[in-house]
Structure 1
Amino acid sequence: MASFFTRLAFGMGPWFHTKIVDPLLLILRRGAEPKQLAFSAALGITLGVFPVCGVTVFLCGMAIAVLGSLCHAPTAMLANFIATPIELSLVVPFLRFGEVISGGPHFSLTSDALKKVLTGQASREVLQSIFHALLGWLVAAPFILATLYILFLPCFKILVRKFSTTVPSSPKKPLHSHAEVRLKVRDV
C-alpha cells in the first residue's frame, strides 16, 4: 500500500510541477502586483467552485473580460484550474446550503435518486436541486472571495518579493543618470 502512494506521489510530481508550479513561477517573475494576484487567484477559485460542472472556465473568462486590468487573467485561470477538484467536493454542501436558505425540500442523494435522474423521472427535482446549489454558491461566493483574498494577499506579497525579476522603479532615483546616457550615445 505504501508503494502505491509513493508511485502516485512520484507520478504526480512532474505533472504538478509542469501544470501548477511552473505557470505560477512564470506569473510571479513577470512582476504583477500582489493585490492584483491575490484578487485574481481568489476570483478564480471562487468562480472555479461554481456548482455546475463545465461552465467555470466560461465564467472566469467573462469575469476577466468585464474586469479588464483589475484582474490578472493567467492567475485567475490557473486558480480556476486548481479549483476543479474542490468544485466537485463542494456541490453537495452548496446544495444543502441552498436548501436551508430557501426552505426547499431535501434532495435525496441515494442510488434510487440516481436511477430516477438517469431515466428522466426526477427532472423537476433535479432542476430544483441545481437551483438550490446555485443559490448556496451565490450566497457563499462573496464570503469565499473575501476570505481567500485576505489569505492570499500576504502569501503573494512574499512570493512576489522572492520570485519577481523586475526591478522596482523609484520616482526618487532614476535608473540611469543623464551622464551615463550621454556616454552611451557618444560610444555609438
Structure 2
Amino acid sequence: MEGKDHADSGEAARKRGWWRRWLWDPVVGQLKQGISPDKLGWTIGAGITLGIFPVLGTRAWLCLLAGWWFKLNQPVLHSFKSLVYPLHVALIIPFIHLGQWLYGKEGVRLSFEFLRTQFAEDPWGFWQEFGWIILRAASAWLLVAPFVLVAVKFAVTPILRRVGLKEKPEKP
C-alpha cells in the first residue's frame, strides 16, 4: 500500500505544475514556518534583482553572499534568481548600452551570442577586451537595481500578507 501512496503523491506533484511545485509551494511553506511576508518580499525582490545582474557566472555567488549577509532564505532567493534567467540574458546588451551611455563612451554593436562565443573561446582574452564594458554594464545595473528591488518587494508583499493570513505558522 505504501508504494501506491507514494505513486499517488508523485502524480499529484506532477499535476500541480512546475510553477506551483518549485515557487508557490516553497513560498507558502516559508510563510507556514513563520517567516514574515516582509522578509520574504525582500528575499524575492533580491532574487529577481540579483538575477538580472549583467555578468555571466556571477549571479549564484551574488545570491549566496547577499543571502548570507542579509540572512535571506537561500532556496527562495535562488529560485527567483533562476526564474528570471531569460530576463537576465535579454538585459545584458541593454545594460551594456546604458553603461556605455552613462560613461559617455561610444556605443558598441554586440550580440549576446557573440559575447558568449568570445568568452567560451578565450576567457582571459575576453576580460582583457571587454572588461571595462562589462564593468560599465554592472555600474548601470547598480543604478537600476534599487528601483527593481523596491518595486518587486512592494508588489509581492501585499500578496504574501494575504497568503500569510490564510496560512498559520506551524507550531512545534
TM-score bin, normalised by smaller chain: 0.7 to 0.9
**2:102 maps to what in 1?**
101
Aligned length: 154
Note closer, same or farther for the CA distance 1:115–1:131 as it changes in structure 2 (3 Å cut): closer
Note closer, same or farther for the CA distance 1:103–1:78 as it changes in structure 2 (3 Å cut): same
Superposition map of 1:124-143 within 5 A: 124-143=128-147
Q: 1:49, 1:90 within 8 Å by CA — same for their partners in 2?
A: yes
Letter in 2 for 1:133: A
Output the CA distance in 1 between the equivalents of 2:150 and 2:76: 17
Deviation at 1:103, TM superposition (A): 0.9
- The yes-or-no answer on 1:40 pairing with 2:14 is no
Deviation at 1:122, TM superposition (A): 7.2
- The yes-or-no answer on 1:53 pairing with 2:56 is yes
Superposition map of 1:1-188 within 5 A: 14-68=17-71, 71-109=72-110, 117=118, 124-162=128-166, 164-166=167-169
TM-score by length of 2: 0.74
CA RMSD, 1 decimal: 3.0
Query: Which entry has the higher C-alpha Rg, 1 or 2?
Result: 1
Three-state SS of the structure 2 residue aligned to 1:53 is coil
Letter in 1 for 2:95: F
Q: State the identity %.
A: 25
Note closer, same or farther for the CA distance 1:110–1:49 as it changes in structure 2 (3 Å cut): closer
Q: 1:95, 1:133 within 8 Å by CA — same for their partners in 2?
A: yes
Output the CA distance in 2 between the equivalents of 1:65 and 1:115: 30
Output the CA distance in 2 between the equivalents of 1:114 and 1:141: 23
